[in-house]
Amino acid sequence: MTAKMPLKALLAVGASVLALTSLSTESNAAGDRVRSIELTADTQAANPNASQAAYLLADMWKKLGLDVKVKEVPYKQKLDTVYFDRSACEGAACFDMAMWSIVGRPERSDPDEVIYNLFHSSTGAKGYNYPGYANAEYDKAAAGQQVELDPKKRQELVWKAQEIQANDPSYIFFVNPIVNYAIRKDVFDEKTAVQQSGLGILNFWTHIGLTPTGAKKDIVLNTSDNLLNLVPMAIGGAAASWITDLVWDRMMRINPKGLPEPWAAESYKWVDDKTIDLTLRSGMKWHDGKPVTVDDVLFTFGEVGSMAPMYAPFLNIIAKVEKTGDRTVRMTLKTPSAPFLTSTLAKVNLTPAHIWRPVVADLKAKGQTLDSYQPEELIGSGPYKFTHWRRNAEVLLTANKDHWSPPKAERWILRIVPNMEATIGMLKQGEINFLSEYRGDFETLDKLAKDSGQIAIKSGVTIGVEYMGFNLKRMPMKDQAFRRALSLATDRELLAASAWKDQAVPTNAIVSTVLEYWHNPAVTKDMYNLDRAKEVLTKAGYSWVNGRLHYPDGVKDTVMAPK
């Protein structure tokens, strides 16, 4: 497949050919030639920005004497190969590098989830740390920021973690995207769409507050994501998180200002720095009519832990959960936790014990976990009730009018549309009225809005980040010098301008530039330095023979080239 590239990108490709001539053509001591490396990416139709970025990266890295081949695959295949397969991956069937993204979620307003969960070595076997990154210095900073209650000292540790990751990258970060959402003004009162910092209008508060102005009462959104699972104890991607936000309640919610506030918990009180008392809101009911009780809280925060790998890091901080009254619980933490309200109480979905306790027992006996289990019926207590999920087509939620904060809309319908051009056509025709995912050309969207007069665009820089992850179990990605050189050879300004068409902010940090207090600005300075990249490789013993990169003397490549 050939990707169409803007002039600036084409010039960069030409420059890469010239750059090869500057590499040494002789080597007195060279190891094996670095094999062709495969970069796994989304398809052009599903994610045109990231797909084009992959081809630009392949050309950028030619300047280091590398041959990088882009392999476009459907999202599910990429997820299975990259995320779920944690084997040693020394054979040809495993991935080398993969395009990926961290989406903006409200609980990521606090840096803990990305700082700890993505890179701490304890999350490598089953959690988010799919590259298998292990760095003792990083672990110390990541774990330290969790227990540091002084904001300034915690900031220093968060900044330190970003510095370590920049110098010893398991990911190469590219950009914080500018998200562009749109709603039809002939269906909704535009003023009732809530802007949330780092998320835009695609957030929980908009979903429950967006107010229809006429006969059409449904919020109809879009995604290109073919959902894999919908359960309260796992996250199956961005679109799945929109659904779980609405079907299940949480003890706390992140408000539009990015701060945690009571939700299913009517109130809370810190007894000391490791003990918190919570009062459950009265009158809550599950969607099957049964009451939400303290037992459900005990089950969610006390029994689910090890059975839910994606949520384990947020639950493992809890030493014990105790019932102290008909509506009150006490949680005792193992250590003080600065992000606990946000990263645990505002993230973990309240789960009905009467439904899930037997499931947990059965899966535990089989040695299985909850992230691969999918029930037919989804029972929550949230402002929307699950109605149906037609795979590869749509998810339908119905307003829970008995909720203490019921939605203004009657139904919430998510259409699964893998093609961005088709999505624009559906928005134009009114088949969707909330453009919740758009990775196409902004000018196309802007023209549609101006021509229609009935479409309002809402934009903003997101908490999320686009990046590429290494498989640290394979050569040459095992080598810190190799990874560091590729990061230095990555022109993020070009990626933002060409692949994301100026709808993104270049970055080299996991913490978004939107989170000004937590984002370390030092790691985003001098991000692109090709000469420095070559120096890093040379110092590590790499050399060039006929323009192609070779390992240090005596090093043999034990990995077969991908087919």
127-179 pLDDT, tens digit each: 788 888 999 999 999 999 999 999 999 999 999 999 999 999 999 999 999 99
77: number of Cβ within 10 Å:
13
- The count of domains in the chain is 1
Which residue type does 528 have? Answer: Y
Peptide bond into 169 cis (omega under 30): no
Domain-located, residue 111:
yes
Each residue's pLDDT tens digit, 326-365: 999 999 999 999 999 999 999 999 999 999 999 989 988 8
Print the domain residue range for 112. 29-176+463-550
Q: Is 456 exposed, middle or buried (0-12, 13-18, 19+ CB in 10 A)?
A: middle
- Largest interatomic CA distance in the chain: 78
pLDDT exceeds cutoff 80 at 87: no
Task: State residue 3's pLDDT score.
Answer: 43
Per mean pLDDT, which range of 10-19, 108-117, 366-375 is the poorest?
10-19
Q: Assign 389 a pLDDT band (cuts: 50, 70, 90).
A: very high
Query: Does the structure show a pLDDT above 80 at 401?
Result: yes
Q: What is the pLDDT of residues 365-375, one digit of tens each?
A: 888 888 778 88
pLDDT in tens, 305-333: 778 877 888 898 999 999 999 999 999 99
pLDDT of 120 higher than 80: yes
CB-based contact 41:58 (threshold 8 Å): no
Q: Can you give the CATH number for the domain in which 506 is found?
A: 3.10.105
pTM (2 d.p.): 0.77
pLDDT of 8 reads: 47
Is the pLDDT at 107 greater than 60? The verdict is yes
Is 127 part of any domain? yes
Cα–Cα distance, 37 to 42 (Å, whole number): 17
pLDDT at 26 over 80: no
Helix (H, G, I), strand (E, B) or coil at 459: strand
506 within some domain: yes
Residue 401 lies in a domain: no
SS3 per-residue string spanning 283-313 = CCECCCCCECCHHHHHHHHHHCHHHCCCCHH
Please report whether residue 524 resides in a domain.
yes
Judge whether 163 lies within some domain. yes
Residue bearing tokens 């999202």: 75
Q: What is the pLDDT of residue 17?
A: 45
Position 560 scores a pLDDT of 58
Q: In the predicted model, is pLDDT for residue 441 greater than 90?
A: no
The answer as to whether 546 is a domain residue is yes
pLDDT value, residue 254: 93
Nearest residue to 350 (alpha-carbon basis) of 401, 300, 286, 280? 300
Residue 289 domain-assigned (yes or no): no
What are the tens digits of pLDDT across the range 209-247? Answer: 999 999 999 999 999 887 878 888 877 678 889 999 999
pLDDT reported for residue 313: 82
- Percent of the chain at pLDDT > 70 equals 92
What mean pLDDT is reported for the chain? 89
